[in-house]
Amino acid sequence: MTTETAPASNAAAEGKPSLALYLHIPFCTSKCGYCDFNSYEGLDHVVPDYTPALVREMELWAPAARKYRVDTIFFGGGTPSLTSIADMQVLADALREQYDLSPDVEWTLEANQTELTREHLEGLRGIGVNRLSMGVQSMHADELELLERQHTPERVAQAVEDARAAGFENLNLDLIFGLIGHSLERWQSTLEQVLAFQPEHLSCYALTVEPGTALYYRVQKGLLEEPDADLAADQYDWTRERLAAAGYGQYEISNWSKPGQACRHNLVYWHAEPYLGMGAGAHSFFIGRRMANLDSPTRYVEAVNASYEERQASASGRAELRQVAGGEVPDEATQRADAMILGLRLLEGVDMEAFRTRFGVSVDDAFADALKRHEGLGLLERADGHLRLTERGLLLANEVFVDLLPDPEPETGV
Ligand code: SF4
């Protein structure tokens, strides 16, 4: 990948296609046992070089990105709330200078309540962050210990109060159900406590034991049981009913919001629209390519700096984007499968006419066998011009998704 310089643009946003920006902050104070995200503890020595590298990566992408209007920004991690307000200000200034931000940009930051202070929250609001997403996970101390989270339920309550006092009016809380040895009643207690905070948005995920995590090794060694899938299904069913009764609309398999408060950034992913990820390990779907940055924060910083220096020294203003570890232009079959799988995650499902317009083929022609099978099994249904998962399909979504994947290319021998 190469890029080139272009003059800063103050072009009006009208008429530009929209773009979502993701910035990855990979640092955490400690690694939680279940976490397989690209996050690291003990890399404090990389932090001083990381913000300048992010700014440089923004500059490297700016010539291409300025052709778009940025409607959403998402700082994910890792723990973005560990970034100092001084560094956040540097990043915010660079974003405003280099990119064409929509006046009503949705700007989310993931926060860990362990170390979150009122002063820090006020600083975030001051630079323009308007949506906060906190990894609460559970309101029971022993369950937080199982997950190796560092916070307490009391700390969650204090952080929510501080966030409200700092002016955050759009708050997401992440929760995990299906915890090992965790009853329906304990999950109900967590959800009821969290509802008392009146968040605008809730994300509720079933615990998954990911290979390579500390939790995985504990389960493999027999120190912990496998999560109980039947219990998780009961908890999920109850969650759907309870949140509907509390006035939250479910709009995605794991996401609920108050009316009009769905996460605009994540909707970009589910609608298979362009997004540009920056930072270590960040993924993108931009200029027709899928790309992934180097995972290692140290190698990421070195690569961005090398690209930046090459660009500065180049008469043409071009430079190889060394931080991009891999990229591909997805073929038509992959793009159709992406649009289906991502779209079916949404409760509204896939707009069949929009699919035909985009790909020049109907969903029935593109996925004839899979649709027949899963409609027959009662996992898919049609309504109002959309194809969507049924209630039962929401629980068995992965079985549907696997069948929508394109067939692998046949291997050719020599
Ligand atoms: S705080 Fe979040 S990103 Fe960091 S280790 Fe824990 S779960 Fe992973």
Q: How many domains, the chain?
A: 2
Q: Which of 231-240, 253-262, 322-331, 360-369 has the lowest mean pLDDT?
A: 322-331
Residue 41 sits in the same domain as residue 139: yes
Q: Determine the structural domain holding residue 58 and report its residue range.
A: 15-270
Digit-coded pLDDT (tens) for 167-223? 999 999 999 999 988 899 999 999 999 999 999 999 999 999 999 999 999 999 999
Q: What is the pLDDT of residue 411?
A: 52
User: Where does a domain end: 224, 251, 270?
Assistant: 270
Q: What is the pLDDT of residue 4?
A: 46
332-345 and 352-359 helices, crossing angle to 10° = 160
Q: What is the pLDDT of residue 236?
A: 96
Contact assessment for residue 162 and residue 118, using Cβ atoms and an 8 Å cutoff: yes
Q: What is the pLDDT of residue 192?
A: 98
- How is residue 209 written in tokens? 């034991």
Query: Quick check: CB of 135 below 6 Å from ligand 1?
Result: yes
Q: Give the confidence band of 242 by pLDDT, cuts at 50, 70, 90.
A: very high
Record the pTM: 0.93
pLDDT at 9 over 50: no
For ligand 1, mutation pick of 39, 110, 112, 172 (most atoms within 8 Å of CB): 39
User: How confident is the prediction for the chain on average, in pLDDT?
Assistant: 93
Distance from residue 79's CA to the centre of ligand 1 (Å): 7
286 found inside a domain: no
Task: Judge if the upstream peptide bond of residue 78 is cis by omega within 30 degrees of 0.
Answer: yes
Sheet strands (E) in 280-408:
283-286, 289-293, 319-320, 324-328, 350-351, 380-383, 386-389
6 found inside a domain: no
Residue 261 sits in the same domain as residue 361: no
Q: What is the pLDDT of residue 94?
A: 98
User: Where does a domain end: 250, 270, 290?
Assistant: 270
Residue nearest to atom 8 of ligand 1 (CA): 35
pLDDT at 8 over 60: no
Q: What is the pLDDT of residue 1?
A: 64
Query: Quick check: CB of 78 below 6 Å from ligand 1?
Result: yes
357 found inside a domain: yes
335 found inside a domain: no
Q: Give the confidence band of 27 by pLDDT, cuts at 50, 70, 90.
A: very high
Distance from residue 302's CA to the centre of ligand 1 (Å): 24
371 found inside a domain: yes
Amino acid code (one letter) for 328: E
Summarize the confidence of residues 281-305 as an average pLDDT: 97
Q: What is the percent of the chain with per-residue pLDDT over 90, rounded to a whole number? A: 91
Residue nearest to atom 5 of ligand 1 (CA): 31
pLDDT at 7 over 80: no
Q: Residue 30: exposed, middle, or buried by beta-carbon count in 10 A (0-12, 13-18, 19+)? A: middle
Residue 363 sits in the same domain as residue 233: no
pLDDT at 246 over 60: yes
Residue 55 sits in the same domain as residue 179: yes
| CATH number of the structural domain spanning residue 234 | 3.20.20.70
Q: What is the pLDDT of residue 2?
A: 58
Contact assessment for residue 175 and residue 194, using Cβ atoms and an 8 Å cutoff: yes
Query: Quick check: CB of 32 below 6 Å from ligand 1?
Result: yes
Residue 378 sits in the same domain as residue 246: no
Digit-coded pLDDT (tens) for 121-161? 999 999 999 999 999 999 999 999 999 999 999 999 999 99
Residue 258 sits in the same domain as residue 368: no
320 found inside a domain: no
User: Where does a domain end: 240, 255, 270?
Assistant: 270
Which region, left, alpha or beta, applies to residue 281 given φ > 0 means left and ψ of -120 to 50 means alpha?
A: left
338 found inside a domain: no
Contact assessment for residue 130 and residue 97, using Cβ atoms and an 8 Å cutoff: no
Residue nearest to atom 7 of ligand 1 (CA): 35
Query: Quick check: CB of 79 below 6 Å from ligand 1?
Result: yes
337 found inside a domain: no
Residue 151 sits in the same domain as residue 28: yes
pLDDT at 81 over 70: yes
Nearest to 350 by CA among 404, 296, 292: 404
- How is residue 123 written in tokens? 């600083």
Residue 132 sits in the same domain as residue 38: yes
| CATH number of the structural domain spanning residue 393 | 1.10.10
pLDDT at 13 over 80: no
